[in-house]
Structure formats: structure tokens, C-alpha cells
Amino acid sequence: MKLKKVCGLLTIGLALILLAACGQKSAQDIIKSELKDSYTGYSELSGYDSSIFSGGGQEITFDKKHHTLKSGDEKVYYEVVPEKKLPKSMKGILTSHESELSGKDYFIINVGYDKDDVWGKLGDQLYCVVLTDVGNSIRIFEFETGYTTDGYFDFTGKVSE
């Protein structure tokens, strides 16, 4: 009887450990283990509030230590925004992308030209960074918040060599 209980508890414990290990990674884990330093790619349209997210072909460089993004001569600060801090309107937008994000590593960023503009503040325009192929492929898309009718930034790229 005791052996049966011990085996049952060990099985439940092992199952919980496996479930925790296979769960979604945190943004910090994704950035540390998968986000590469730079990506070359293309977006048909520019981003609404930042010239760093311009249309056409470009290279986007991440400085993880200083929380900056750079493209050409433009540099912005970024902060990772936890999903639980998103306004309800943004959560609905994230839900609308659920099928394309399922099974992929992603995080949401707020960007600004001054560190004080983004740190601890939630901007009107957010971007979702999606990594696939162990970080060798990236997609950065602008949340469709209705500020423009011209379209939205949607960058797709590969690791720069």
C-alpha cells in the first residue's frame, strides 16, 4: 500500500516537472537564448510612431544590454511589456493573432527615442517580436490600433551574417 502511494506521488511530481519545463518561456528567457544581435529583412510599410521601423529592406540590430534597437542611423529604446500589463484593447488584438503565435516564442515591446519615454510607461503603439527557427528568423509586427489607415509595419527577416 505504501509503495503504491509513493509511486503515485513520484509520478505526479514528475508530470508536474515536465509540464513546467515544457511551458511557455518568459520574455527574458527568449531574449537571452534566442534573440540574435541583428536581422536583415523587409517590411512593405513603415511603423506609425518610429522611423526605425521603416518600409523596405533594412537591418535591425538589438543591443540587449542597453535595451536599444538600431536601423541605419536611427536608434530607439525598447522595453518588454508583460502581457498582463496590456490594456484590454491590446489584449483583444493579441488574441486575434493567437493562431499565428501558437507554438512560437514571442514578446511585446514598447519603443521610444528617450529611455524615459518607455521605461515603466505603456505607449500607444506596441510591437510584437516573434522568433522562430531557434531565433534565426524574426517577425516584428505593429499592433493594429487604428491610428492609421495606410497599413501597418510587418517586418520579416533572418539573422544577419
Stretches where the chain sits below pLDDT 70 are 1, 4-24, 48-52, 89, 120, 123-124, 144-151
The strand pair at 38-43 and 137-142 is best described as unpaired
pLDDT tens-digit series, residues 118-141:
776 776 678 889 999 999 999 998
Residue 1 falls inside a structural domain = no
Residue 69 falls inside a structural domain = yes
Q: Can you read off the three cell numbers belonging to residue 105?
A: 516564442
This prediction's pTM: 0.76
Give the end-to-end CA distance of the chain in Å, rounded to a whole number.
61
pLDDT tens-digit series, residues 79-98:
998 888 877 767 777 777 78
Residue 145 falls inside a structural domain = yes
Domains identified in the chain, total number: 1
Residue 91 falls inside a structural domain = yes
Residue 11 falls inside a structural domain = no
State the pLDDT at residue 82: 86
| Segments forming the whole domain that contains residue 129 | 25-159
Residue 4 falls inside a structural domain = no
What's the Cα-to-Cα distance from 32 to each of 19, 97, 122, 135, rounded to whole Å?
22, 24, 23, 10
Nearest to 134 by CA among 22, 36, 23: 36
118 sits in which H/E element: helix 115-118
Residue 152 CB contacts under 8 Å (≥ 6 apart), including other chains = 45, 47, 48, 141, 142, 143, 144
Residue 75 falls inside a structural domain = yes
Distance, CA of 104 to CA of 94 (rounded, Å):
13
Residue 7 falls inside a structural domain = no
DSSP conformation class of 24: P
State the pLDDT at residue 91: 72
Domain at 53, CATH number: 2.40.160
